[in-house]
């Protein structure tokens, strides 16, 4: 069985002893190869679509001793809409697909066929869809086809240029900018940031020390820290000067360690961000004036709106964004979405209300939050669709239920992470504290005891799991 003609493009170094690869398959415009016996031929229409520019990129996003996880991005590089896609490949004996998502699967021996789900078959020009799978065994796909046309290697993508050894995320990427539906570095290349969110700084400042932030930057290899300033719940409104100074101190500490910083205006109740409009104006004015010369800041202006319409959230955003832009014109702004930043799903809506009525501002992204035990396929599909049409940043997620507690669902969480890797959606996990809930990464008492911060001895299971995934090497391209 000969391998398909493909180029293996390294995107990261070893994970648990297994190398991480991206496999780029480009459907060739040449005539289809001779059909394999006992396999249904694709329609001429699908072959034409493949020839017109459908491509598939398979990224091995996680690896372990006995298998790996993969995300598959199907991109329409042509000039006409695609109405469906089918990807077929063979796996060597000893390697099998054990689970899959966002596609239907059939199998004949070692030959696998994946067909689009009902919600991700139509792909407009320049847009993408995705699915994923886990494999038992380490064999890579062979004999790939897209819509019946052979997948031939090549294309024009060059291997990423290695960043300088030991360089920090900010040193490598510089000022970030929203480009299309992606977050891009100063070299114009899409990036995916991965990191942690603080808990409320009014409750857990003892978890945000020089030692813990050293560990986050150097041991965990995090790209970004989200600094969560609660508005209510004994937060900002009780002492604006104190909480602004605390946020500025943490911004500087993250800056000193070469990490990006999300300045999170953590409004929860009331759920209408307009209720805190005056406070938000003052907070972001003070923060922007202090940090306007930095190149590592992102402003998150409304954590989780709820019980409020999208037009009201949009109105708030269009009042706060100019406050920031008049002081700091370069930094991306992150806008919360309806129903606890679920694009409205938790209140019976979907991303279309944002797609059809976008905020009147540039260099912005929309936020999405999920908790994997509670937020299942409907939420995952919404994130996938939204990211094809809007710039999206997952500024908060957990492996537990929506309250950040209870059992961890690592399998569902990995499905989200695979999707986000395939679409370069940046993410931040909740939370970097020793709160008693399972979603806090440190065991209770760690922060009051001053650590230990590095390694895994002080971590809960969720902390061990997310540290491992933050620590996988970044794919930062500099040319």
Say what the alpha-carbon torsion angle 10, 428, 216, 222 is, to the nearest 10 degrees: 20
Residues 6+ apart with CB under 8 A from 87: 56, 72, 74, 113, 114, 144, 145, 146
Total Cβ atoms within 10 A of residue 58: 24
Tally Cβ neighbours within 10 Å of residue 89: 24
Based on the residue annotation, tell me whether 396 is a catalytic residue of this protein.
yes
Half-sphere exposure of 200 (CA within 13 A, CB side): 14
158 in catalytic set: no
Contact 180, 391 (CB under 8 A): yes
Q: What's the CA angle centered on 113, arms 138 and 425, to 5 degrees?
A: 70
Whether the Cβ atoms of residue 313 and residue 276 lie closer than 8 Å to each other: no
- Residue 380's contacts (CB-CB under 8 Å, 6 or more residues apart) are 101, 102, 370, 415, 416, 419
Rg (CA), the chain: 22
CA distance 344 to 347: 5
Contact 186, 436 (CB under 8 A): no
- From residue 88, how far is each of 136, 141, 144, 462 by CA, in Å? 18, 9, 6, 35
Helix H or strand E segment including 47: helix 44-53
CA distance linking residue 184 with residue 191, whole number of Å? 5
Q: How far is CA 148 from the centre of its chain?
A: 31
Choose among 137, 122, 127, 118: nearest CA to 70. Answer: 137
Q: At residue 472, what are phi and psi to the nearest 5 degrees?
A: -65, 140
φ, ψ for residue 114 (rounded to 5)?
Answer: -115, 125
**Active-site option among 57, 88, 300, 304:** 304
Confirm if 302 and 283 have CB atoms less than 8 A apart.
Answer: no
Q: Which helix (H) or strand (E) holds 434?
A: none
Structure tokens that stand for 201 in this block? 């700084």
Contact indicator for 193, 420 with CB cutoff of 8 Å: no
CA proximity to 438, closest of 468, 455, 462: 462
Q: Which residues are catalytic?
A: 304, 396
């Amino acid at each position: 069985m000969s391998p398909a003609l493909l180029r293996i493009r390294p995107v990261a170094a070893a994970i648990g002893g297994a190398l991480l690869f991206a496999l780029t398959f480009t459907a060739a415009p040449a005539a289809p190869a001779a059909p394999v016996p006992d396999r249904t031929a694709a329609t001429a229409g699908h072959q034409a679509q493949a020839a017109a520019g459908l491509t598939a990129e398979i990224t091995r996003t996680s690896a372990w001793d006995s298998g790996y996880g993969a995300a598959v991005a199907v991109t329409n590089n042509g000039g006409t809409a695609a109405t469906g896609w089918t990807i077929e490949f063979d796996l060597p004996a000893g390697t099998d697909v054990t689970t899959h998502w966002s596609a239907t699967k059939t199998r004949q021996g070692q030959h696998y066929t994946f067909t689009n789900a009902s919600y991700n078959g139509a792909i407009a020009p320049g847009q993408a869809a995705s699915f994923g799978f886990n494999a038992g065994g380490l064999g890579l796909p062979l004999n790939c086809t897209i819509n019946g046309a052979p997948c031939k290697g090549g294309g024009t993508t060059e291997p990423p240029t290695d960043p300088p050894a030991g360089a920090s995320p900010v040193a490598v990427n510089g000022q970030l900018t929203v480009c299309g539906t992606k977050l891009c570095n100063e070299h114009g290349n899409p990036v995916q940031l991965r990191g942690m969110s603080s808990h409320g700084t009014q409750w857990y400042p003892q978890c945000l020390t020089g030692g813990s932030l050293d560990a986050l930057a150097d041991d965990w290899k995090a790209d970004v820290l989200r600094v969560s300033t609660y508005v209510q719940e004994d937060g900002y409104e009780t002492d604006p000067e104190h909480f602004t100074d605390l946020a500025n101190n943490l911004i500087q500490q993250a800056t000193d360690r070469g990490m990006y910083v999300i300045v999170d205006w953590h409004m929860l109740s009331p759920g209408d961000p307009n209720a805190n409009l005056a406070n938000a104006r003052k907070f972001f004015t003070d923060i922007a004036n202090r940090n306007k010369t930095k190149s590592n800041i992102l402003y998150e202006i409304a954590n989780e709106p709820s019980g409020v319409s999208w037009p009201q959230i949009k109105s708030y955003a269009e009042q706060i964004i100019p406050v920031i832009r008049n002081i700091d014109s370069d930094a991306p702004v992150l806008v919360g979405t309806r129903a606890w930043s679920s694009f409205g799903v938790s209140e019976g809506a979907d991303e279309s209300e944002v797609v059809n009525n976008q905020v009147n501002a540039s260099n912005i992204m929309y936020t999405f939050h999920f908790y994997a035990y509670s937020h299942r396929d409907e939420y995952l599909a919404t994130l996938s669709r939204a990211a094809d049409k809007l710039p999206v940043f997952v500024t908060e997620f957990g492996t537990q239920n929506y309250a950040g507690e209870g059992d961890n669902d690592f399998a569902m969480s990995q499905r989200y992470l695979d999707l986000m890797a395939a679409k370069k959606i940046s993410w931040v996990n909740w939370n970097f504290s020793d709160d008693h809930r399972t979603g806090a990464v440190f065991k209770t008492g760690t922060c009051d005891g001053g650590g230990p911060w590095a390694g895994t001895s002080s971590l809960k299971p969720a902390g061990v799991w997310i540290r491992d995934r933050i620590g996988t090497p970044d794919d930062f391209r500099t040319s």
